[in-house]
Structure 1
Amino acid sequence: MAATSMAAALAASLPAAPVAPTPAAPTYEAIPPSMSKVIDIEAEIPLQVVQLDGLVVTKILKHSKESSATVHGLLLGLDLDGTLEVSNSFALPHHVSDEDEKSAKSSARYQASMLRSLREVQADDSVVGFYQATSLGAFFNQNLVEIQAIHQEKLRHGGVVIVHDLSSTARGNASFRAFRLTPSFLDAYKKSNFSTSSLVNHRLTFSSILEEIPLQIRTNPLLGSFLESLTKSTPSLLPDTTPETARTSVLPPSFSSLDLGTTGLTRNLEQIIEAVDNYRTEEGNLAYLSRQIARERARADMYVAKRKEENAMRVAQDLPPLPEEDVARLFKIPAEPSRLESMLLLGQIDAYGKSLESTASSGLIKMYGVRSI
């Protein structure tokens, strides 16, 4: 319910998709070559790279560090010549009771107010996607899928979702990745059909839900010079300094790289176990529903076979056959359950496993290094 309310809030804040009326036979003339440059052809250029401004990076890092709840926000910018330039962003409020319709409306009003304020100060106010913070690389969930589906339906280039990994940033490696839904998954999502046959026809697995887009971070020369000045050491102003402390750095030394990361391993294993339990529960529910569907279909098939046998006997006795009744009306055969949640859970397990592999390998190298010392 929380995912639905947030998706509804975003849908209310985004511009409505243009509805083209059914035209008659076209009578307009071809566009002259002198006006061809005026036409918006950016939508025809495929998106090749996402360019993230340094300001956006710092805002996402600040929002993720200060908030203890789910972190998400909107991205603003412009798409130009196949490059999606993300120049600004703002955080979205987190409501404790997201299932309440009132909170969804207040979130939509907040987004509209922020976009209006940015427009008044001549700042970028075009929504090009959203960002979401995650932990241990597991960002597969219904919330992300629903919001991104809304964006890809209403935005010109479909927008992107920037995923920020908090656990990787805590280890000293800021992680930002850009994704969007694949065309095959979006087609199945629009049809609300994630049955077994639909997954086979669309060739869908958890690895084909999203496609990753190359991402690069842009910093202006002033910020680059400032960061370079932080890395240079300066002579110490303290008297009687030893040769080791004769020069000091603006940035204090960081020893986070020496951490073996055993706490993260424990939490990672706990998340894997929880995800596996959720997947087993979901598979159990799907198996139960599948047995119910098979039972009802068997009853319907037996009824049809029995009716055909009775009609064959009546025809042999020169009697009129009984009318063919609607089997769907007599037997309520449930629709095949959706397997979307199972795919998302498999994606979470895969992400937790990759994170565990990365953390364990680096921790193992550190332990061997400590042992040699």
Structure 2
Amino acid sequence: MAAAIAASLPAPQAASAPAAPIHEPIPASMAKLIDIEAEIPLKYVQLEGLVISKIVKHSSESHSSVHGLLLGLDLDGTLEVTNSFPLPHNLGDEDEKSSKTTSRYQTAMLRSLKEVRADDSVVGFYQSTTMGAFYSQTIIDTQAIHQEKLRQGGVVVVHDLSRANRGNASFRAFRLSKDFLDAYRRPPFSAKSMISHKLTFNSIMEEIPLKIRTNPLLSAFVSTLSERHLSPLAEPTPAEVYRTSLHPLYSTLNLGNPTLTKNLENVVEAIDNYKTEEGNLAYHTRQIAREKARAEAYIAKQKEENANRLAQGLAPLPEDDVSRLFKIPPEPSRLESMMLLGQVDAYAKTLEGTSSLSLVKMYAARAGTDAGRDSP
């Protein structure tokens, strides 16, 4: 997905000689609102109700994680997201053919939106996730491309499917922090770079406040659905005296929690992946240290031999290129282990929330049972 978005986004143009302006100057009262130079920092993201509906629909219809582009405009420090469209999901996302197909689809969609006078300015992308764990190499690569090419840097809106299935729509907006982006653009992502930039898994992304705006027509429609009204029946039962179009949900009273087991499995799997990655890093570190020791021993031996030749009045031997004789591997990147730590933290926080809610339900049910037994 990152390669497809990079191909479709406009490439930065070389600076040319400024031409004489032929338009009227911008009024002082509108200078801050228009913000052509993107000098006003981004304060919060505003999602339209249409965008929320599209993301929820796209996520609910797919059995895997989905992604798409966000369209809109930034005004006076507010990134207004007014429209979105999904991108095709390809199994071989890194394959060149699938990347070109996604790029052509994205270009055609933006061209069609421009023809009908709809918003066609890319301001970010959205990604669905489960149980709060959204750190991945694809998201970081795509967001890095956006922050390099888009005017305000763009954002990634994360939609949590596990919370949506429980009736709580979860939308959060993020973008890469400046310190992480600086270290990311200077490979390798080594331990020294992490220490110098003071990076942890919590400092990869910075969250931006998010607001949801619905139009008055939709708000009025929802209010009519939830408003209580008298039953049209001639002799209604006490339970049918008042009715609403939105029926009450009793799933919250269920003491069972089907996602708790899956959450525990995800925590264990993420910890195992982290241990495997740490083992690989330790192996590469030992290999680097072994090759460096061999190179240093060879240099010391060469210096000693040249010193003996000088003592005997002989010309010293030419120094060999150590980098050619000993292939010292580069230091491995620590980005993967940092992202795995972020996934473990996200799964643990979700587990804390779901388990605490289940404990509250169990104590409430026990209290109700004990009160029923004590009553005459």
Pairing of 1:19-30 with structure 2 (within 5 A): 19-20=14-15
TM-score (norm 1): 0.92
The AA in structure 1 aligned to 2:166 is: R
Across the two proteins, how many residue pairs are aligned to each other? Answer: 364
Give the superposition deviation at 1:34.
5.2
Quote the residue 1:274 is aligned against.
269
More displaced stretch, 69-78 vs 236-245? 236-245
Name the CA distance, whole Å, in 2 between partners of 1:96 and 1:329: 40
2:73 aligned with 1:60, yes or no? no
Quote the residue 2:371 is aligned against.
none
Pairing of 1:231-246 with structure 2 (within 5 A): 231-246=226-241
Cα pair distance change 1:294/1:344, threshold 3 Å? same
Quote the residue 2:336 is aligned against.
341
2:82 aligned with 1:72, yes or no? no
Pairing of 1:173-252 with structure 2 (within 5 A): 173-252=168-247
Q: Is the 8 A contact 2:81 2:123 kept in 1?
A: yes
Cα pair distance change 1:327/1:180, threshold 3 Å? same
Name the CA distance, whole Å, in 1 between partners of 2:51 and 2:271: 35
Give the superposition deviation at 1:317.
2.4
Give the superposition deviation at 1:259.
2.8
* Runs of 4+ with >6 A deviation: none
Cα pair distance change 1:42/1:247, threshold 3 Å? farther
2:86 aligned with 1:91, yes or no? yes
2:57 aligned with 1:48, yes or no? no
More displaced stretch, 165-174 vs 257-266? 257-266
Cα pair distance change 1:172/1:40, threshold 3 Å? closer
The AA in structure 2 aligned to 1:306 is: K
Name the CA distance, whole Å, in 2 between partners of 1:20 and 1:321: 54
Quote the residue 1:16 is aligned against.
11
| SS in structure 2 at match of 1:124 | coil
Quote the residue 2:316 is aligned against.
321
More displaced stretch, 191-200 vs 39-48? 39-48
| SS in structure 2 at match of 1:197 | helix
Name the CA distance, whole Å, in 2 between partners of 1:261 and 1:177: 28
Quote the residue 1:369 is aligned against.
364
Q: Is the 8 A contact 1:42 1:79 kept in 2?
A: no
Q: Is the 8 A contact 2:188 2:331 kept in 1?
A: no
Unaligned runs of 5+ in 1: 1-5
Q: Is the 8 A contact 1:172 1:256 kept in 2?
A: no
Q: Is the 8 A contact 2:87 2:102 kept in 1?
A: yes
Cα pair distance change 1:127/1:85, threshold 3 Å? same
Quote the residue 1:158 is aligned against.
153
Deviations 1:221-278 (A, max 9, x none): 1111111111111111122212331111101111122233521110000001111111
The AA in structure 2 aligned to 1:201 is: S
Name the CA distance, whole Å, in 1 between partners of 2:137 and 2:328: 27
Quote the residue 1:146 is aligned against.
141
Give the superposition deviation at 1:319.
2.4
Q: Is the 8 A contact 1:233 1:247 kept in 2?
A: yes
Pairing of 1:124-135 with structure 2 (within 5 A): 124-135=119-130
Name the Cα RMSD after superposition: 2.2
